[in-house]
Chain A
Amino acid sequence: AQTVTQSQPEMSVQEAETVTLSCTYDTSESDYYLFWYKQPPSRQMILVIRQEAYKQQNATENRFSVNFQKAAKSFSLKISDSQLGDAAMYFCAFTDSNYQLIWGAGTKLIIKP
């Protein structure tokens, strides 16, 4: 069975500092996609960053970057220069050729001013 595991239920970081959220997954597929989604309190889910499994280069989007380790089935998210607006639940998700997203349980990110 395909699974996604986020081992950190909650993380906190000082504003302007860097934080890394961890995610591991399990699949027998060779071609798949990995995502980090952000869900602010009472607001809708939005995509933060996406990684195609066939790409060796780690994806980056402004202050957000990933460390994708395919052999280890690890997909961590690094947020640099943390801002108050980054406070949210962060979900790691995986999809294969069926396009169905398999989700982790989420990590609550708290930003300390």
Chain B
Amino acid sequence: DTGVSQDPRHKITKRGQNVTFRCDPISEHNRLYWYRQTLGQGPEFLTYFQNEAQLEKSRLLSDRFSAERPKGSFSTLEIQRTEQGDSAMYLCASTPPWGTEQFFGPGTRLTVL
């Protein structure tokens, strides 16, 4: 296992379209996090899973955003009716049961035209 992977790495879409991103965590990592990062800023927490349960969701996250983690393995993040303000890097991270360090994937860069 080489680390957290994310797909796609880049996505360009038109305003109003739906997009879905995938994150595959490191195997045996039970916690999975999604963050959004805009240029020149630190990451902003979006949501967090422990196994298949979504335990926390940012109040900043609009109802156009939804995330799932069926079977407690990979996770998907869907954005419906994209807006130009959704353009950002979407980062996924995972953590093992025994630790606190979050291991990050390479991110998916979303551009909404």
Contacts and interface: CB of A to CB of B under 8 A. Distances in A.
Contacts of B45: 100-102
Contacts of A91: 42-43
The A interface is mostly helix, strand or loop, or mixed, namely strand
Interface stretch (B65-73, B79-87, B101-109): B101-109
Contacts of B41: 105-106
B78 to A, nearest CB: 21
Contacts of A99: 31, 48, 95, 100
Contacts of B31: 99
Interface string B45-72: 1001000000010000000000000000
B42 A105 contact: yes
Chain A interface category by residue count: 20 to 34
A45 B42 contact: no
Given A45-B104, A50-B100, A98 B56 contact: yes
| Across the A-B interface, the 4 shortest Cβ-Cβ residue pairs | A103-B42, A45-B104, A44-B106, A33-B100
15 contacts: A43-B106, A44-B107, A45-B43, A45-B91, A46-B104, A47-B102, A50-B101, A99-B31, A99-B95, A100-B45, A100-B48, A100-B56, A101-B45, A105-B41, A106-B41
